[in-house]
Chains A and B, each alone.
Chain A
């Protein structure tokens, strides 16, 4: 266990300003995804002559992707736990594992989008397709940004600048990563698992 997990900071609130800022950012991100999910739910029955969501979604494939992203949250929290113990080597391994799992998820999303395009579902095919690609595409961009942040941490670690002293940086990147996972938990259930209209 890390007894220095949350030290008292010399700020007016006694908590880290950087963490507070990240939480404020995540709160605002809830609004962004709230808007995008609302737009999808309003438009999911408007597929006109294009493919309907119920006809095109590949639930087994997306389930595997979801599982991969869920497990990346475990590797992320293990990376944080390692750096808080001062275990730089394991921190690096878990950060790389998280980035790898995130990349697998993105690879799955690229495959899914390509399959949909081949089956006639383009970005402007219908209001449903526009809302779907915008929502899942925005989420994919967030995962990609997370991978870039994780790789920056790995590079810092190899340079010897990521140590127990600045473990808060890993914690803040971890918060972002877990948030991306939490959003996907919501998207996976509401968009994929709740029965969708068919043509």
Chain B
């Protein structure tokens, strides 16, 4: 990546403190919704709903608090590569225990 390209990606301003508080309130509301599923039976949509809420929280922390939304795209690539490899590890482990265990 050239210095000019990196500059385009990194020379910016951060959000205000009020914006960070707004994000934190949103995260708290999502967490409350997650926890409510323990007390209220929502049937077969439970696991998909939990996964969606988890991903949304993950996205907001990574994008806003870790500044991936504003920083160089190179940082995002490093992080996403780690996430993809971690998912691959999970899939391989499950495959091993499901199909390759003798008996």
Contact = CB atoms under 8 A, between A and B. Distances in A.
Q: Tell me whether A and B are bound partners.
A: yes
Contacts of B3: 8, 12-14
Nearest to A42: B97
B54 to A, nearest CB: 4
B74 A13 contact: yes
Nearest to A43: B97
A189 B54 contact: yes
B2 A185 contact: no
Interface in A1-18: 1-3, 5-8, 12-15
Interface residues of A, number: 58
A7 B85 CA distance: 31
Contact of A5 (B12, B46, B51, B78): B12
Contact of A14 (B2, B27, B66, B67): B2
Majority secondary structure of chain A interface residues (helix, strand, loop or mixed): helix
Contacts, number: 168
Interface in B54-103: 54, 57-58, 61-62, 64-67, 70-72, 74-75, 78-79, 81-83, 85-87, 89-90, 93-94, 97
A101 to B, nearest CB: 12
Contact of B53 (A24, A171, A189): A189
Contacts of B1: 13-14
A169 to B, nearest CB: 15
A104 interface: no
Contact of B20 (A74, A186, A195): A74
Interface string B27-68: 110010011011000000011001101100110011011110
Contacts of A186: 54, 58
Given A5-B12, A13-B1, A179-B66, A185 B58 contact: yes
A38 interface: yes
Interface of B: 1-7, 9-17, 20-21, 23-24, 27-28, 31, 34-35, 37-38, 46-47, 50-51, 53-54, 57-58, 61-62, 64-67, 70-72, 74-75, 78-79, 81-83, 85-87, 89-90, 93-94, 97
30 contacts: A6-B11, A6-B67, A8-B3, A8-B10, A14-B2, A14-B5, A15-B6, A15-B9, A15-B71, A20-B78, A23-B74, A27-B83, A30-B82, A30-B86, A34-B86, A34-B89, A35-B89, A42-B94, A67-B28, A70-B28, A74-B20, A74-B65, A76-B65, A81-B20, A181-B65, A182-B61, A186-B54, A189-B34, A193-B34, A193-B50
Given A8-B3, A73-B61, A81-B20, 10 more contacts: A14-B10, A20-B75, A27-B78, A30-B85, A31-B89, A71-B28, A174-B65, A178-B66, A188-B34, A193-B35
